Amino acid sequence: MKIRRAFYVITTLALITFTVVFSLRGEKKSERPKYMLVIHGGAGAIDANMPEEMKNRYYSSLRKALEIGEKILKSGGKSLDAVEAVVNFLEDDSLFNAGRGAVLNSEGYAQLDASIMDGKTLNAGAVAAVEHIKNPISAARVIMEKTNHVMITGAGAEKVAELNGLTLVDRAYFITSERTKSWNKANSKGTVGCVALDMEGNLAAATSTGGMTNKLVGRIGDSPIIGAGNYANNKTLAISATGKGEKFIKHNVAFRISALMEYKDMTLEEACNEVMFRHLEPNDGGVVAIDKNGNFALVFNTESMFRGVTGEGLTPEVKIWKTK
């Protein structure tokens, strides 16, 4: 028992050290950058020995996502528009567990969750357990802007999406050969997310997912739950999470990190590390975040996380594993 406990402590300290060094790169600026964008495409045990062709596909997709968001922000566009556009792109890319690439539930079809939040107004929208909406993140924004509600599930959300001109598709659209092959691998998980700071100083966050492979029909994870897997507040940060949804819900991860910053006066990195390494356990997942001053963090306690960052004065950078 003592040996196992010592190993856990050593492993945790190693992860913390990596995360602090990596994410402190976002705290070197003395003044707020004009804009900033950070993305993720899921965290977990991603095979470092995957074929080079597949690695390059992931890197290329992540770079394209950054390019889409940066183009909007650099031209003076809103953070909300940037995060929606980036997540739309990732939902349409079958490489990631959201939209077209969503994993399948226990009955062999996809049920999707998504949420979006405006840090300026604290307005938010979410959809959960939808089966026919091509881009759930856009439906979440419709919920936020066109209704008096925050979250709508299933057929109700699909009706709102249809009435507002969003594209509905057959269930078969989401069933790719790769997801069919992995259907019975029970612990697959992943999510896509984007957080942004625009030139007006407004933050926004968007998160979309297919959840976990083989999940029970109707299961809802943390991604559509404001304060668990997604949160934005101009007083503190914009944050998007990925990992074991039930754990992120129980620990109210996204809002907890924000609260530590607001009420404990922690920095973004300190708050992310406090929650990810003291409240959660190894291999639970990760978060990407930007604070009100444009500092950014990419923190995960898994072996890897698809991720990328760009912003004023930065060279766009994408990574999957800890060092590459």
Residue pair 236/291 in contact (Cβ under 8 Å)? The answer is yes
Residue pair 65/40 in contact (Cβ under 8 Å)? The answer is no
Buried b (16+ CB within 10 A) or exposed e, 204-228: bbbbbbbbbbbbeeebbbbbbbbbb
For residue 44, the tally of other CB atoms under 10 A from its CB is 22
Token output for 217: 């029909």
Q: Check if 242 is active-site.
A: no
Buried b (16+ CB within 10 A) or exposed e, 136-161: bbbbbbbbbeeeeebbbbeeebbebb
Residue pair 136/91 in contact (Cβ under 8 Å)? The answer is yes
Question: 12, 121, 191, 209: which one is catalytic?
Answer: 191
Instruction: Give the three-class secondary structure for 183.
Output: coil
Question: For 88-133, where are the E strands, in sequence order?
Answer: 112-118, 124-130
Residue position matching structure tokens 């969003």: 166
Apex 63 CA angle, 60 and 67, nearest 5: 135
Token output for 185: 């691998």
Nearest Cα to Cα of residue 40 among 234, 255, 194: 194
Q: Per residue, what are the HEC states of 249-269?
A: HHCCHHHHHHHHHHHHCCCHH
Nearest Cα to Cα of residue 33 among 295, 323, 287, 211: 295
In angstroms, the CA 322 to CA 302 distance is 10
Catalytic residues: 191
